[in-house]
Each structure stands twice: as structure tokens, then as C-alpha cells.
Structure 1
Amino acid sequence: MTDRPERPLFGLFLRTCAMLLLSTMFMLVKVAGESGVAAPEVMFWRQAVSIPTLLIGLTLTGKIGVLRTQRIASHARRAAIGTFGLLCNVSAAMLLPLAEATTLGFTTPLFAVLITALVLREHVGRWRWTAVVLGFAGVVIIARPGHVPLSMLGVAAGLGAGLIVAAVSFQIRDLSRTEAPVTCVFWFAFYGTSFAGVLMPVYATRHDAWQWLLLVLIGLSGTGAQLLITLALRHAAVATVIVMDYTALVWSTLYGWLIWDRLPPRVIWFGAPLIVAAGLIITWREHHLSRAISPATALEED
């Protein structure tokens, strides 16, 4: 079996399309929230729509067997944590302006470094620690302490999403050793729907046609984004395509302007570059260290 040749430009294109779909999903989440749909119900339908979508796609392509797994418990644990992260993401989108919610989501690499250092007890050197300080300085600027504040619950949800996505990334890295990407996506949706379904008797309400359309589009755009993110990694390395994640800020700003007639305040143009720069530094260091000749060399250079 030959290695698949890399197509970095195509990978970058796919990742950019994924960020457009993801930004579209969060825009729809915000619209749904303003129409009266509760966050737990949005979370349920975001996952529930994925299941028949993936089943139909896999059946038509003759790949339904890829869903077989020997690691049901690992998928369930990943979904339990990831579902709470999805709730944080949905809540942040509902409680904050889109640009601010998107920017707080960029803190995932910062939390990944903290988990690496404080939980896994691995070495983290001056470059990545500097990036963490730089990134959280950007968070403080965006939160605007002492000025007209953002919703602190929304800020907490945005940071919580960044932390949980970072934690889940370690679980996904472990699952990817034995599982196909679409397998992880399907079982996350399956268990996520089951977990969120517990809340439905409390939060489910009757909806009009517009609200049902929003919920279906949320599920389809979220599923499409997940699949494009996975597909992009088949054509280019993570370190190559991850830079396109920051285009989500462009889309969220555009949606905020077109739909809510709101442009981000000046502080976000000071805080967001710090968070983005921190993420890029961490990505660069991870890429550099992965190519180091030996662990000892990596430790000396970090």
C-alpha cells in the first residue's frame, strides 16, 4: 500500500471551507437562540441530524462497515466530555457577539499547552509558555474589564469550550491510532445525542417551520464542517492547514455585520491578534519539535 501524496493547497482549501461551514453553524445557533430555542435542544439536534446523514452517506458508498469498533467505552468517554464542550460552544455563540465567541475559541492551543505541562507533566519551554501568556493577555483585553463588559457567563462558556476541545484532542489522538475519522465522528454523534436527549423532556418545545429549518441546517453544517476538517488532514499535515482556522474570525465578523449590523469593537483588534499569534507560535513549535532529531535536541531548543 503506497502513501497518499500530500496536496497542501487542496488541504488548505478544504480547511477554509470547513471554517466557513463552522462559522455558519454558529451564526445559525445564534439565530436559533434569539428565536427562542434553548441551548440544550440546539445541542441535541446538532448531533441527531449527523446520525442519519452519516449512515446514508456510508451506505451509499458501501463503507458502512467502517463503523465497527472495539473501543465503545473510549468513544463514550470522549463523547461525554465533548458534549459538554459543545454545550459551551453553543452557549458562547448565543451569549456573545460572534466575533468575540469565535476569538475565545482560539484559546484551545493555549489550554493544550497547560494540559501538557500540568497534567501530562511533559516539558514545555520558553516559547510555548510565552505564547500562553501572550494569548491570555489577549483574552483579558477582549473581556474588557472595567469597561462595558461582555456576558461573563458567555466568556466562561467560550473559555470552557477552548479547554474542553483541548482535552478532547488528546482523546481523539488516542482513538485515531485504531479508528477511522468517520468512526469517531459517528460515535460522537450517537453518544452525544443520547446524552443530550436526557435534557430534552425539560428543554424541548414546539417549533414553527423556521425553527425546524434552523435546527436541520445547524446539524448539516456542523456535520459538513467535521467531515471537511477530517478530509483536509488526508491531503496535508495539521501544521500546514491549522492556520486556516483563523479565517473563522473573518466569517463571524462578516455575519455579525450582515445580520446584526454589528462590527467588533476596537479592543478585539488588539486582543485577537495576540491570541492568534500565540496559537501560531504554539503550532510552529509543535511542528518544529516533531521534526527534531532526538528528544534531547528538542528539549534543548524549546
Structure 2
Amino acid sequence: MTAADRPHRPLFAIALRLIAVICLSVMFITVRLASERGVHVVESLFYRQALALPVVLAWVAMAGGLQTIRTRRIRVHASRMMLGLTGMLLNFLSYILLPPAEAATIGFTMPIFGTILSALILREVTGIHRWGAVLIGFVGVLVMIRPDAGHFPMQGVAVAIAAALMTASVSLVLRELGRTEAAGVVVFWFTALSMIPLGIAMPFVAQAHDPVTWGLLLTIGLFGGIAQLCLTAALRWGPVSVVLPMDYSAIIWTTLLGVAIGEDWPMATTWIGATLIIASGLYIAWREHRRARKPLVSLATPPQD
């Protein structure tokens, strides 16, 4: 069945995307909790991928078996893996170093960096409308972090911005892969190939943990795997332009979960900055949609464009 022949179920697609965003929010908060219990960030990455792999394999089996993941572009998949793994590492660190709401909000700048990279690397024509949206997005970041006030550690802010930039870089590779590879192929090879560098690194950081900590690591892996599958399935039943707004609900879920684990309620400047950043991202996606091109996807799944 081709993409054009698939029935559209927009409400189902929106529900799947919302479930994915909630699962990702739980995963990131759990990474923060695990870090507070002494878990190294590389351990969190390893168990995120290792425990998600059986879920991905089960999905591959139901989708037609291992023959569906054959590829002739393993080198491109390897490049995507390294970029994606680096982006995931930076994202995990941003939630460790910053309050959850602020880490999520800075992550929303990914479409902004995607626009910049598309213009600089792909030489795409970017008009005044999208450059204006980029400027508004960066104003939102400045409003939120208030560099002069010292509300947040600048190291954490720098890591969060680097994570958004890396995720945007992954989008350029995914755009190229998307011309020949199905989404399931990309998900499988990213998960499987990432076990190689993580497996090499694990002996240097692995530790014994108590049952509660093992439970946190299990949560990271399972919720991360479920989120990945729901993100992919959502795009099967509805276009990105329909499901995209659900990604920005992450600010709600991370805020509530953060408060639940004892974090302070975000300041007013965080909400003002988040509004500007979200408006910027949605406007960029809308302009892309108007130009009959694939819109930028949010931080949860690196965009296809």
C-alpha cells in the first residue's frame, strides 16, 4: 500500500503523537532521576537503546520480517546513528543540567536551526518570513534564559542549544535517507547500530544498582521504545502538519512531571519565551506546508526536512 493509498485517520494520528510526546517526557524526567541516583548518562543511553531494541524487533516482525529492513545505504545509516546518538546524549544532559520545562523549551528551537542549516548547507531559498520567525525564536530563548539574571547554568543552556542544533543536523541526513528508506528501516538501523559504540563504552561506566534504579533504567528503555514506535505510526495515519502541534505539549508534561518530582514551577519568563519559540516553530512549519514541502518535525523525532 502506497502512502497515497493509506487511509487518513487524523484523530488516531494525533492520539499516537500525543502518547509519544508523553512517553518521551517520562523518559527524560526518568533520566534526570536516574542521574540523581548516580547513573552515568552513557548507562542511560545504553539501556534506552538496548531495552528498546526488542520492541523495535517485534514491530519489524509484525511489519513483514527481517527482509523489510534490508538496505544498501549502511554507511548513511551509520552517519545518522552517530549524529543521532550524539544528539540524544546532549538531550539527556540538558534534562540533567536544566529544569525540565526549560530543557524542553530550548529543544523547541530545533526547527529554527533546521531552517538555518537548510539555507547554509542545502542552499535552500529562505525568505524574509522564515528568517523573521528564526529571529523571533531566538528572542524567545533570550527572554527565557535571561543571561544577565543567572537563573540557569549557562553550561546547561549551551548543552540544550547544542542538542537542538545536533537534532536539526540529523534532519538533513534523514531527509536524504527518506528518499530511499522506509521509516521502519531508519528506526531499526539507528537502534541496532547504536549498540556498537554504546557496548564499547559500557565497561568503563557500568555500575551495580539497587532495584529502584534498575526500575528507572527499565522505564527509560521501554518508554523510549514505545515513543519511537508511536511517532512513526502517527505519521502513517496522518500528515506531519496535523500531528506536529502535539510535540509542543511536551512543555506541559515536563512541567507537571518536574513539579511532581520536586522541581520549582517555571518562571513567567519561561512561559513567555516558550510562547515565542513555539510560535516561531509553528510558523516555520506552516510556511513549509504552504510551499508544498515536508514541514519540519519537532525535537521528539528529528525532522524529515
Q: Into which bin does the TM-score normalised by the smaller protein fall?
A: over 0.9
Cα RMSD, aligned residues only: 1.5
Distance of 1:178 and 1:250 partners within structure 2: 36
1:136 matched to which residue of 2? 138
Q: 1:52 aligns with which of 37, 47, 54?
A: 54
Change (3 A) 1:184 1:263: same
1:201 matched to which residue of 2? 203
Q: Which moved more, 1:55-64 or 1:166-175?
A: 55-64
| Post-superposition offset of 1:61 | 5.9
Give the match's secondary structure for 2:148. coil
2:30 matched to which residue of 1? 28
The ranges of structure 1 where at least 4 consecutive aligned residues each deviate by more than 6 angstroms after the TM superposition are: none
CA contact (8 A) 1:15 1:232 kept: yes
Distance of 2:263 and 2:52 partners within structure 1: 31
Q: 1:288 aligns with which of 281, 284, 290?
A: 290
Structure with the largest fraction of helix: 1
Q: Which moved more, 1:193-202 or 1:135-144?
A: 193-202
Q: 2:156 aligns with which of 136, 154, 157?
A: 154
State, as a whole percentage, how many aligned pairs show the same letter: 46
| Post-superposition offset of 1:261 | 4.5
Q: Cα deviation per residue 1:147-176 (whole Å; 9 max; x = unaligned)?
A: 133122211111111111111112112212
CA contact (8 A) 1:50 1:186 kept: no
Amino acid at match of 1:47: Q
CA contact (8 A) 1:81 1:168 kept: yes
CA contact (8 A) 1:22 1:222 kept: yes
Structure 2 gap segments, 5+ residues each: 294-305
Structure 1 gap segments, 5+ residues each: 292-302
Q: 1:123 aligns with which of 122, 125, 144?
A: 125
Aligned residues: 291
Choose 1 or 2 for highest CA Rg. 1
Give the match's secondary structure for 2:180. coil
CA contact (8 A) 2:99 2:263 kept: no
Change (3 A) 1:117 1:137: same
CA contact (8 A) 2:139 2:273 kept: yes
2:115 matched to which residue of 1? 113
CA contact (8 A) 1:45 1:193 kept: no
Amino acid at match of 1:114: I
| Post-superposition offset of 1:197 | 2.5
| Post-superposition offset of 1:50 | 1.7
Q: 1:247 aligns with which of 242, 246, 249?
A: 249
Distance of 1:61 and 1:145 partners within structure 2: 49
| Post-superposition offset of 1:109 | 0.4
- TM-score w.r.t. structure 2 length? 0.91
Distance of 1:61 and 1:186 partners within structure 2: 12
CA contact (8 A) 2:49 2:221 kept: yes
